Amino acid sequence: SAFELLDIDQNGIPELLISPASFAISSCEVYTVSNGSIKQLDVVSVYGRLFYNEKEKTIVNWNMHQGTESCWAAQLIDDEMKEVYSSHLIDNDMVDTPVYWVNDEKVTAEKYAESNKKYQIEDNSDWALVGRKYSLNNSSEIESLLATSDDQQI
């Protein structure tokens, strides 16, 4: 298991990302502080990780598996994860020809490719892998993190 503190909406209060594992069905759980209470946010993720774009204040998840591809992007607004983009591709034995969707609208392959450019994580330095910075199995990493955050309110 791993975790990371990340101020997704850049409001000065970091969110807690917990990644139980790094295999396909493992999610990356995200928690925030809302009205003085800890709140789990609705996040779509696989492989125990997400990607984050600091300039856009956006998290994204990409999943490619057995002839399908999906992208989900969201921003933290008013203590809720608000979807800002989604895309899906099905290109396997279940369909005769590939099927493309962007924001729940069926589109052409060209529109799909163009729409996805902003959210491409490969070869794009705007996106950083997040959720697995510190290992819960490494107590020295946790102690170091706590020591550096003594003056911060978490």
pTM, full prediction: 0.80
Question: In sequence order, what are the residues at sequence separation of 6 or more whose Cβ sits closer than 8 angstroms to the Cβ of residue 56?
Answer: 75, 126
Structure confidence at residue 154 (pLDDT) = 43
Which of 10, 70, 21 has its CA nearest to residue 49?
A: 21
Structure confidence at residue 48 (pLDDT) = 67
Question: In sequence order, what are the residues at sequence separation of 6 or more whose Cβ sits closer than 8 angstroms to the Cβ of residue 113?
Answer: none
Structure confidence at residue 20 (pLDDT) = 79
Say whether 13 sits in a helix, a strand or coil.
coil
Structure confidence at residue 23 (pLDDT) = 66
Averaged pLDDT, groups of 10, the chain, 154 residues long = 92 91 74 92 78 94 84 94 94 88 96 91 82 75 57 48
